[in-house]
Amino acid sequence: MLFHIKQSHAPADCPYGKGGSRSLFDESAPGVKLHGYWLAFPQHTTFLVVETDDVGNLQAFLRPGTNRCVAEITPVSDMPAK
């Protein structure tokens, strides 16, 4: 299943110069494939599209940012509703 993730942090929690925005998620989390990654730097927001079939794997993927970020997770699909 695909998920769109909007991950935001406060300016005071910005990882710029401290590992960067990729430090807010774990690309090596098992069972999660990162399909896309985009930044809105002035808004302190990242947008990701990931694929996984296990919520535990998704939680592991996002664990590095849990103390600095709010994540909005939306399941998405390219299939129209019937």
Strand ranges across the sheet with 45-51? 33-40, 45-51, 2-9, 69-76
Predicted TM-score (pTM) of the model is 0.92
Amino acid of residue 74: T
Residues in Cβ contact with 40 at an 8 Å cutoff, skipping those fewer than 6 apart: 46, 47
Per the structure, the complete domain to which residue 68 belongs is given by 10-37+52-77
User: What's the chain's average pLDDT?
Assistant: 96
Whether 56 maps to a domain, the answer reads yes
Looking at residue 78, what is its pLDDT? 87
Q: Distance between CA atoms of 80 and 40, rounded to whole angstroms?
A: 28
Whether 71 maps to a domain, the answer reads yes
Looking at residue 3, what is its pLDDT? 98
Q: How confident is the model at residue 80 (pLDDT cuts 50, 70, 90)?
A: confident
Whether 82 maps to a domain, the answer reads no
Whether 31 maps to a domain, the answer reads yes
Residues in Cβ contact with 8 at an 8 Å cutoff, skipping those fewer than 6 apart: 43, 44, 45, 46, 69, 70, 72
> How many domains would you assign to the chain?
1
